[in-house]
Amino acid sequence: MTLNRREFIQLMSAGAGVAAITGCAGTGYGPTVGRVVVIGAGYSGATAAKYIRMWAPDIEVTLVERNGEFISCPISNLVLGGSKTLADITVGYGGLGKYGVKMVRDDAVAVDPVKREVRLASGSTLGYDRLIIAPGIDFMYETIPGLNNADAQSKVLHSWKAGAQTVALRKQLEAMRDGGVYALHIPKAPYRCPPGPYERACQVAHYFKAAKPKSKVLILDANEDVTSKKGLFMAAWNGPYKGMVEYRPNSELLDVDVKTLTAKLQFDNVKADVLNVVPPHGAGQIARQTGLITANNRWCGIDWLTMESVKVKGVHVLGDSTLSAPLMPKSGHMANQHAKVCAAAVIALIKNQPVNTQPMMINTCYSFIDDKNVVHVASVHAYDAAQKTMTVVKGAAGLSDKANELEGAYAMSWAKNIWADTLA
Amino acid sequence: MKIKFAFRAVTLLAAATVTWPTAHAQDSASVRGMAATCANCHGTDGRSVGTVPGLAGVDKAYMAQQMKDFKAGKRPATIMHQLAKGYTDEQIEQIAAYFAAQKK
C-alpha cells in the first residue's frame, strides 16, 4: 500500500482524532480531530477561529462573544473627528459562518483548565482540547478612586473600546462651548494602541478647527515623551494645529473630580470642559481569572512559537492581553498576526505535527492626522530562538516621511482588508 | 537475528515514513504562515477587497522581483521598502510561489 502525502496526513489525522476526542457526533461537521474554543471575537479571536477552520476543516471551532457585532477600535477616532460614523466601523459576524465557525453569543465566566471546560454565563459549558483566550483589555479603575463607580464612568469616558462610548464622546465634543478645553489622559506604557491617543488629539483638533476654533486640546501624558510617531505628531501639533494642541508629558493622573471635570495630577489640577481618561489597563478579566497573568499584575506571558500560556497548559492567549515582545505594540494588526501563528500551532499540536519554529509577524499602524492625511509606523518581527521571543528583523521597520493623502487611501484599504481577513 | 533485523527494518521504514511528510508539512505551514503576514493589507490568500493590489495569482517571478526591488530601494514605496527588508530572498521566492498558486 502506498500513500501520497495528503492521504497519509488524512490517515494520521483520523488516527489522532480517535485518540483525541469522542462524542462529537451530531455537530454537523465531518469527522473532527479536535475541539477548539475561542473566547472573544475581536481582531485576534475572530481571526484565529477563521484561520483554524480555513486551514483545518477537520477541527471544530466554537467562538464565544458577548457582543452582537464587531466594532473596530482602529478608525474609531475618525468618528470623534466627524468624518466617519459608528456604522462605518461596524462589521457583522455573519461572514465567519461560511468557514463553519460556530458563534455562541454569551459571556465566558470561568475556565477549568483541568477538566478543559469553559463555563458560560447562560450556565452551559463547552469542552475543549485547546482554548484560545482573546479578551482584549479591562480597565483598572481601582487606581483612580474618583472614577471607580458607574456614574463617574458615564461622565468621564475612556472611549478606548469602540462602540457606545465612541458615540457618547463625540456628543460631549459637539455639546462643548467654543473656547472650551478637551483634555485627554494617556496612561503609562504599555497600553493598547500606542499612537492612538495622539491620533485622537489630532482628530478632535481637526473637528475644533472647523467647528469651534477657539477651543483647545490638552494632552496629559503619564509618559515622559510621545510614545509613538513623535516627529510626525509634533509636526501636526506645530503645523496645522498650532496653538490648538498642547502636549504635557509626565502628567500621571492621581485622581479625578467628576463634578468639576478636574484631573488631579501630582503638581497640578487641570479643569476641562470634556475630560477623556484612558485608565491604566491589563489583560481581560477572564485571562486574569484563569490565572494567566505573569507580568506587572497585568499581562499574560506566552510561548511565542505557539502563543500558549507559560502558566496554564492547553490555554493560548492572543492580542492586547499578552505580555508584548520587545518593540511589539498592542494593536489590532498585531492581534490579527498573533492569531495566525496561534492557528497554525494549534492545528499542529492537535494533529501531532511539528510546530513551525520560525513564525513571523508584521505590524502596520496608520494614524489619521485629519480626514485625509495619514502617517504610518511599520515593523517585521521574527522568532529569535536564542532569546525565545519575537524581535524586529534588523532594518525592517520605519515611519512615513510626512503625512500624506496616498497613505490616507491605503489606510482605508487596510481597514477593509483587515476587517475581511478577520471576519469574512 | 533474522527477526531482529526485520524488526529494525520495519522501525526504520516507519521512521522514514513519518519524518518525510511531517517535515514537508512544516515547510508548507511555515510558507503559508509567512504569506498570511501579508493578508491584513492584501487580503486573505492575497485576494484584496480594497485599493491595495491583490497578490493572488500574480506571476511568481514578477512578484519576487517587485519585492527585491522594494528591498533594494529601486522601486519607490510608502511602506513596502520597509516591510520587504524583513524577508530573505529565499523567503520572498517562497511567498511569491504561494501567491502565484492562489486563485484570484
Closest to A38 measured CA to CA, from A114, A136, A161, A123: A136
Chain A residues close to B80, C-beta within 8 Å? none
Give the residue ranges of chain A where pLDDT is below 50.
1-27
| pLDDT one-digit tens code per residue, B44-56 | 999 999 999 999 9
Decide if pLDDT at B13 tops 50.
no
Q: Do A340 and B33 touch (CB under 8 A)?
A: yes
Q: What is the pLDDT of residue A7?
A: 37
| pLDDT one-digit tens code per residue, B57-101 | 999 999 999 999 999 999 999 999 999 999 999 999 999 999 999
Q: What is the pLDDT of residue B27?
A: 80
CA distance B47 to A277: 39
Residue A246: beta bridge partners?
A218
User: pTM for the whole thing?
Assistant: 0.91
Q: What is the pLDDT of residue A149?
A: 98
Burial class of A151 by CB neighbour count within 10 A (0 to 12, 13 to 18, 19+): exposed
How far does the CA of residue A151 sit from the closest CA of chain B (Å)?
A: 39
Residue A390 and residue A409 in contact, taking contact as beta carbons nearer than 8 Å? no
Q: Which residue has the cell 491595495?
A: B52
State the pairing for strand pair A59-65/A34-39. Answer: parallel
Q: How confident is the model at residue B22 (pLDDT cuts 50, 70, 90)?
A: low
The grid cell for A313 is 497548559
| DSSP classification of residue A223 | S
Residue A246 and residue A212 in contact, taking contact as beta carbons nearer than 8 Å? no
Burial class of B92 by CB neighbour count within 10 A (0 to 12, 13 to 18, 19+): buried
Q: Do A378 and B83 touch (CB under 8 A)?
A: yes
The grid cell for A232 is 510626525
User: Which residues are within 8 A (CB) of B2 and not within 5 positions of it... i.e. 6 or more apart?
Assistant: none
Q: What is the pLDDT of residue A20?
A: 37
CA distance B68 to B91: 11
User: Which residues are within 8 A (CB) of B4 and not within 5 positions of it... i.e. 6 or more apart?
Assistant: none
Decide if pLDDT at B2 tops 70.
no
Q: What is the pLDDT of residue A31?
A: 80
For residue A374, which amino acid is it? V
Q: What is the pLDDT of residue A271?
A: 98
Q: CB-based contact (8 Å) between B48 and chain A?
A: yes
Chain B residues close to A420, C-beta within 8 Å? 43-44, 49
Residue A165 and residue A198 in contact, taking contact as beta carbons nearer than 8 Å? no
Closest to A215 measured CA to CA, from A186, A172, A252: A172
Mean pLDDT (whole number) for B14-22: 43
| pLDDT one-digit tens code per residue, A319-377 | 999 999 999 999 999 999 999 999 999 999 999 999 999 999 999 999 999 999 999 99
| pLDDT one-digit tens code per residue, A249-269 | 999 999 999 999 999 999 899
Q: What is the pLDDT of residue A22?
A: 37
